[in-house]
Amino acid sequence: MKTKFELTAVDIYPEIMNIYGDGGNLIYFKYRCSLYGIETKIFNISMETGHKDEWEKSDVFFMGGGQDAEQALIYEDFIHNKKDVLLKAVEKNKIMLAICGAYQLLCDYYKSADNKIIKGISVFKGYTEYVYPRFTGNIAVKWGHLTLVGFENHGGRTYLEKTQNYMGLVLKGYGNNGKDNTEGARTGNFFGTYMHGSFLPKNFVFCDYLIDTALKNKYGVSIEEVLKMNSINKSVMDNIFEIRARKDIADLKKFV
């Protein structure tokens, strides 16, 4: 008899903060969980606070990117109705993947093209300012012993404080600011990155890392232990599609 495992994930503002395919991250997370026999419960949370008593207990939070107009649209709701939940989630070692505009809102502040200061929630210590021209193109990033890939398109330049952990080091592309070779940020299990694309389908090992971390947080077991309990042979998951997709990115071939 199989042991039941369930992870709850939240997509924050899916109809607004969903540029360059960011919504695919949650779709792939759910798919990847299914390969391991893990059930997923999904909440889509928008401008209202419905189901707050449930979604604030979730295991994984996702929030995609958006342009300045989209960030302005959700800003008041984000600060008043989402901030406290996310700060508590950081303290509880919950997981979040924040892409581009969401990443910027998790920093201290964002300075827009018209010099307006938009305060963030300071999960990541640093700030972002808009500078022309935009950084666009495919990006490869060193994360531990792995190479992560994605697509970046951002006018913001993010500068982290020296004490703030970055997510990875740029192998090709621009990353946070095009100067210090850093990309993204990490605080606990909260990750911020400029990598669109969708990010998780291009980086299935990182997706597995998030699942493994969530399982350990909630149940105290790893992916490998779940496979064993549910008699699932991992060798049947060859990841060929994902590997080929990575290798098909022409200007990143030598990095992947």
pLDDT averaged over every residue in the chain? 93
- Is 0.75 surpassed by the pTM of this model? yes
pLDDT above 60: residue 1: no
Q: Per-residue pLDDT tens for 11-47?
A: 999 999 998 889 999 999 999 999 999 999 999 998 8
Confidence of residue 69 (pLDDT cuts 50, 70, 90): confident
Would you state the pLDDT for residue 232?
A: 83
Q: Is pLDDT larger for residue 176 or for residue 73?
A: 176
Catalytic residue numbers read: 100, 196
User: Domain holding 99: CATH number?
Assistant: 3.40.50.880
Q: Does residue 253 sit in helix, strand or coil?
A: coil
Q: Per-residue pLDDT tens for 132-165?
A: 999 999 999 999 999 999 999 999 999 999 999 9
Q: Per-residue pLDDT tens for 191-201?
A: 999 999 899 99
- Structural domain of residue 131, as residue ranges? 5-252
Which residue reads 């669109």 in tokens? 196
Would you state the pLDDT for residue 56?
A: 84
pLDDT above 70: residue 236: no
pLDDT above 90: residue 98: yes
Q: Per-residue pLDDT tens for 177-188?
A: 999 999 999 999
Would you state the pLDDT for residue 5?
A: 96
Phi-psi region of 100 (alpha: psi -120 to 50; beta: other; left: phi over 0): left
Would you state the pLDDT for residue 77?
A: 93
pLDDT above 80: residue 166: yes
**Are 168 and 186 in contact, with CB atoms under 8 Å apart?**
no
Would you state the pLDDT for residue 51?
A: 60
pLDDT above 60: residue 2: yes
**How many domains in the chain?**
1
Dmax (CA) of the chain: 60
pLDDT above 80: residue 68: no
Distance CA 31, CA 33 (A): 5
pLDDT above 70: residue 217: yes
Would you state the pLDDT for residue 50?
A: 58
Query: Mean pLDDT over residues 90-113, rounded?
Result: 96
